[in-house]
């Protein structure tokens, strides 16, 4: 069982590194053209749609299922306010890390959920791992480009993404051994993450993904949300 959890969470998390590698080669081998920027912004929107679907279909429903109204609202607001202050602090330092934060804010809680539900619903855990992997790829692509624009070297960013790929294993094992007995605590974590994710989406990610007189970006966000709907339906 433990080996299965490790393998599933590894396959889900390694797409963080693959997304960074894809962005590196994309920037290195494609010239700066309007088509390139349309693709990049459409992929940003696609990633935003997937992140939004994670909030609407996975994280918030878990919180609503396990928590009463006031505790759920408290966790949600704390997440939003805390990440507002983090975003303001990073903004003053000139960093562009909103996409990376949003990626981690759904990657980690969902990996915890993967480990927590594995013993109860193996099929759901397997499909959740696939869902997480699909989310991570476009999010990591966009995060890589944001970090390199902020001054990180490509090599350092790829190394960071390689390390982050293994965070899902740690989170899944924590979920399995620690939080599987405390569903309310897992629900608080997911609701807290939802507040932070939505703040980052509306403040940073969605505004940056829009291109003037281009409609592909909005379609990309819609299709990204559809990925979440399909994943939830299959699960």
What is the structure's pLDDT at 95?
Answer: 60
Residues 192, 177: Cα–Cα separation, whole Å: 21
Q: Would the pLDDT of 72 be above 70?
A: yes
How far is the C-alpha of 117 from the C-alpha of 97, rounded, in Å? 30
Predicted pLDDT of residue 94? 60
pLDDT at position 212 is: 67
Residue 82 scores a pLDDT above 80: yes
| Per-residue pLDDT, 69 | 92
Average pLDDT for the chain: 82
pLDDT band at 170 (very low <50, low <70, confident <90, very high): very high
What is residue 43's predicted lDDT score, i.e. its pLDDT? 78
Distance CA 222, CA 53 (A): 10
- Of 37 and 192, the structure prediction assigns the larger pLDDT to 192
Q: Write down the H helix ranges in the chain.
A: 2-29, 34-54, 60-66, 69-92, 98-118, 122-149, 154-164, 167-177, 183-200, 206-209, 216-234
Residues 143-150 have a mean pLDDT of: 84
- Residue range 16-29: mean pLDDT, rounded: 87
Looking at residue 235, its pLDDT comes to: 65
- Whole-structure pTM value: 0.77
Task: Write out pLDDT tens, residues 119-145.
Answer: 677 776 777 787 788 778 887 888 888
The span from the CA of 185 to the CA of 191, in Å, is 10
Express as a percent the part of the chain with pLDDT over 70: 91
Residues 80-117: b if buried by 16+ CB within 10 A, e if exposed = beebeebbeebeeeebbbbbbbbbbbbbbbbbbbbbbb
24-28, 53-57, 89-93: least confident range: 89-93
Task: Specify the 3-state DSSP secondary structure of 121.
Answer: coil
pLDDT classification of 93: cutoffs 50, 70, 90: low
């Amino acid at each position: 069982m433990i080996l299965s959890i490790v393998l599933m969470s590894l396959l889900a998390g390694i797409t963080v590194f693959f997304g960074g590698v894809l962005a590196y080669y994309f920037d290195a081998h494609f010239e700066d053209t309007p088509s390139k920027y349309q693709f990049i912004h459409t992929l940003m929107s696609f990633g935003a749609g997937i992140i939004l679907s994670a909030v609407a279909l996975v994280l918030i429903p878990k919180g609503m299922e396990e928590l009463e109204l006031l505790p759920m609202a408290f966790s949600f607001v704390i997440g939003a306010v805390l990440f507002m202050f983090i975003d303001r602090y990073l903004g003053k330092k000139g960093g562009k890390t909103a996409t990376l934060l949003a990626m981690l804010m759904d990657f980690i809680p969902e990996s915890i959920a993967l480990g927590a539900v594995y013993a109860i619903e193996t099929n759901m855990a397997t499909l959740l791992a696939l869902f997480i992997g699909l989310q991570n790829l476009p999010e990591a692509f966009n995060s890589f480009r944001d970090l390199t624009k902020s001054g990180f070297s490509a090599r350092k960013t790829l190394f960071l993404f390689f390390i982050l790929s293994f965070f899902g294993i740690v989170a899944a094992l924590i979920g399995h051994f620690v939080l599987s007995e405390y569903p309310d605590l897992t629900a608080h974590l997911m609701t807290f993450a939802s507040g932070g994710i939505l703040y980052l989406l509306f403040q940073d990610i969605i505004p940056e993904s829009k291109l003037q007189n281009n409609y592909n970006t909005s379609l990309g966000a819609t299709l990204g949300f559809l990925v979440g709907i399909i994943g939830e339906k299959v699960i």
